[in-house]
Amino acid sequence: MSALEGSDHHDVFSDARPLVLFVCTHNSARSQLAEGLLRQKYGARYRAESAGTVARGVHPLAAEALQAVGIDASAHTSKTIESLGDLTPDVVVTVCDNAREACPYIPAERNLHHAFRDPSAVEGTDDDRRRAFAEVREEIADWLDATFG
C-alpha cells in the first residue's frame, strides 16, 4: 500500500480515483513529465493533471523524453492553474521551488513538494540536453514509485 492510499472514500476501480495535480512554474517540463509518468504507471489508481503558475508550452525535449518510454505526449498542453477552473485535486505536488513559493493556495487533502532539477536549464549539446531530460524523467519516475507505488 502506498503512502497515499488508505482513504476509504477512494475506490481504486471507480471514477473517484484520487486526482493528483503536478505544479511547476511554466508547466513545460517537470510537471509534464510527472503527469505523463503517473498516468502510465499508476493510471488505474490515480488521475493526473498538471499546470503552471504561467503556461509556456510543452518543452519539445519533455515530450521526447516521454515518447522514449512509450508515452504519447502529443495531446499534452501547457496550462495555468487558473485555467483548471473548479478542478479539485486530492493531492497537489509542487515539483520546483519557484512554484511552491509562487503558487496560489490550492486546497487539497495532501500537499507534497519535491524539487526536481530543471532539465530545460541545462546548456550544452543536444545530447547533453536530451540526457538531462532523461535523467530528470527517471528521478521523477523513482519518486512516483516511492510515493504512489
Active site residues: 24, 96, 103
- The answer for residues whose C-beta is within 8 angstroms of residue 34's C-beta and 6 or more apart is 22, 48, 50, 93, 95, 140, 144
Contact 26, 52 (CB under 8 A): yes
**Residue 23 phi/psi, 5° resolution?**
-125, 130
d(CA 148, CA 46): 9
For 75, half-sphere exposure in the C-beta direction (CA atoms, 13 angstrom radius) is: 5
Q: Are 20 and 108 in contact (CB under 8 A)?
A: no
